[in-house]
Chains A and B, each alone.
Chain A
Amino acid sequence: MMPCIHCGACVPVCPRGLWPQQLFEALGAGDLPRAQHLGLDACGACRQCQDHCPSGLPLTKRFREGQDALLALTEAEQVKALAQTRFLAREQRRAQAEAEALEAKRQRRAEAKRRAEARQAQTSGAPGRQDAQRAALARALAKAEAEDRLRDATRLRAALTALDEPS
């Protein structure tokens, strides 16, 4: 096998009208974009160029390898693009969920605040709630005294006084 002397014997015999010697040179330099520009995809591996090469160069083999490399590159790019799409979609979903959770929290807080304010208004405006509490305690105290549960009665009495004291 001799080096390529660019004699051009492969050029007129190519049925696809390619320039095999230039293609061979591009692939030898690992320049896939240039090889693609020179029509690497169009090579049908008919071996005409290889049969006419006076240097006995493995042209068809190199073109096949180049096409395989191009295919592998295309597949890798497709996988990469798919992964990127998935990742971006997941990121979007996560961001949306986060925003929704934040909004819900904000709403819960507003609700709690509103309730607290309402309770405040209730306790200051109408002391019905404290009265009910006092009545319930009194009922429980009466029941405890009737059943002679002394410890409970003491605790309930203390609670009743504590309820009266701050107001």
Chain B
Amino acid sequence: MGTVGLATLPVLAVRLAQEGFAPALPLLGALAGALAVEALYYRRVTTLRDGSALLTGWLLGLALPAGTSPVWALTAGALALGLGKLPFGGLGRNPFNPAMVGYAAALLLFPLALLDGQTGATPLASLAARSGLTVSEWRATHPGPWGAGSGFALSLASLAGGLWLLYRRRISWHAPLGYGVGLASAALLAYDGGSSQSAGPPLFHLFAGSSLFAAFFIITDPVSGAHTPPGRLAMGLLAGALTLSFRTTGPFPDGVAFAVLLANAAGPAFDALAEARRRQTPRV
């Protein structure tokens, strides 16, 4: 789990470079909330040694907007562990990604604390609120490749960390590939060439918001969702397609957390299908 934490360091570095010290406060808050709830639940500090609560708090803290107050971040971290992991039996048993449980709970329980914390409009939010502009007109006022703006550098940082994890064999390629293909194909199907109703081109969706962060650090959580290689591929595909669906028709600009949670819920079904379709005698 330390390796996964190390792989997110480029993301943290880019955020600190772009937004100053601000993202560190919610990060520390989420970490404190996650660690405190885990230690209080087991009434031991040694339980923190496996690093799972630390990683959950870390990933959640990285996902929270810079302006989120540390108190709300701490609450989100506590909810992540208290709702997403501990009630299911702790390490290795949670069916949903705890960090995304915390994020989704925070977004639904205190949305203003998170949305007000956004420093400036994100590309996803401004694309959603572009009122009558075609995609190319909107692009003209937005910097960066595919209009992904400042998020593009973050996505590259996620990509770098994720590729390193793949190289180190800490994650399998199934879920990230599924997520990318699912998101890109859904975006391609929804893209009509750039009219004012269009949802944006596939490459924009891959590099905007938290797509690549989710593809390499969230949907790759080994515990939650599917456990078999084909199951993970299918879960990634579903999560990617759902992400676009939440972005285009959902109430929030981005919808990675909800997409991941729904795909996690479908994980055991994908596993059952994968096991049932498996050839009876594996290669000898």
Whether chains A and B associate is: yes
For A, the interface residue count at a CB cutoff of 8 angstroms equals: 22
Instruction: State the B residues within 8 Å of A (CB).
Output: 50, 52, 90-93, 169, 172, 222-223, 227-229, 271, 275, 278, 280-284
- Which residue of chain A lies nearest to B283 when distances are taken between CB atoms in the complex? A17
Alpha-carbon separation in the docked complex, A8 to B271 (Å):
13
Q: Is the CB of A3 within 8 A of B222?
A: no
Instruction: Output the least CB separation between A22 and chain B (Å).
Output: 6
- Map CB proximity to B onto A7-26 as digits: 1 under 8 Å, 0 otherwise: 11101100011110110010
Residues of B within 8 A of A38 (CB): 275, 278
Q: Kindly state whether residue A5 has any CB partner on chain B within 8 Å.
A: yes
CB contact under 8 A between A21 and B282, given known A5-B92, A34-B275: no
Q: Is the CB of A16 within 8 A of B91?
A: no
Residues of B within 8 A of A11 (CB): 172, 229
Instruction: Output the least CB separation between B33 and chain A (Å).
Output: 22
Alpha-carbon separation in the docked complex, A25 to B231 (Å):
16
- Map CB proximity to B onto A122-139 as digits: 1 under 8 Å, 0 otherwise: 000000000000000000
Q: Which interface residue of A7, A21, A42 has the most chain B CB atoms within 10 A?
A: A7
CB contact under 8 A between A8 and B282, given known A3-B93, A22-B227, A22-B228: no
Q: Kindly state whether residue A6 has any CB partner on chain B within 8 Å.
A: yes
Instruction: Output the least CB separation between A40 and chain B (Å).
Output: 10
Alpha-carbon separation in the docked complex, A158 to B54 (Å):
125
CB contact under 8 A between A6 and B283, given known A11-B229, A34-B275, A37-B275: no
Residues of B within 8 A of A3 (CB): 90-93
- Which residue of chain B lies nearest to A39 when distances are taken between CB atoms in the complex? B282
Interface pairs A-B: 5 shortest CB-CB: A3-B92, A17-B282, A7-B222, A6-B227, A39-B282
Q: Is the CB of B228 within 8 A of A42?
A: no
Alpha-carbon separation in the docked complex, A102 to B169 (Å):
80
Q: Is the CB of B284 within 8 A of A42?
A: yes
Q: Is the CB of A2 within 8 A of B50?
A: yes
Residues of B within 8 A of A7 (CB): 222
CB contact under 8 A between A8 and B222, given known A3-B93, A21-B227, A22-B275: yes
Residues of A within 8 A of B282 (CB): 16-18, 39, 42
Q: Which interface residue of A6, A21, A38 has the most chain B CB atoms within 10 A?
A: A6
Q: Kindly state whether residue A4 has any CB partner on chain B within 8 Å.
A: yes
Residues of B within 8 A of A2 (CB): 50, 91-92
Residues of B within 8 A of A42 (CB): 281-282, 284
Instruction: Output the least CB separation between B176 and chain A (Å).
Output: 13
Residues of A within 8 A of B278 (CB): 19, 37-38
Residues of A within 8 A of B281 (CB): 39, 42
Alpha-carbon separation in the docked complex, A103 to B275 (Å):
60
- Which residue of chain A lies nearest to B90 when distances are taken between CB atoms in the complex? A3
Q: Is the CB of A4 within 8 A of B92?
A: yes
Q: Is the CB of A8 within 8 A of B283?
A: no
Instruction: Output the least CB separation between A49 and chain B (Å).
Output: 13
Q: Is the CB of A16 within 8 A of B227?
A: no
Instruction: Output the least CB separation between B128 and chain A (Å).
Output: 36
Supply 5 further A-B pairs (C-beta < 8 A) apart from A9-B169, A39-B280: A5-B92, A8-B229, A12-B169, A21-B227, A34-B275
- Which residue of chain B lies nearest to A11 when distances are taken between CB atoms in the complex? B229
Alpha-carbon separation in the docked complex, A34 to B280 (Å):
11
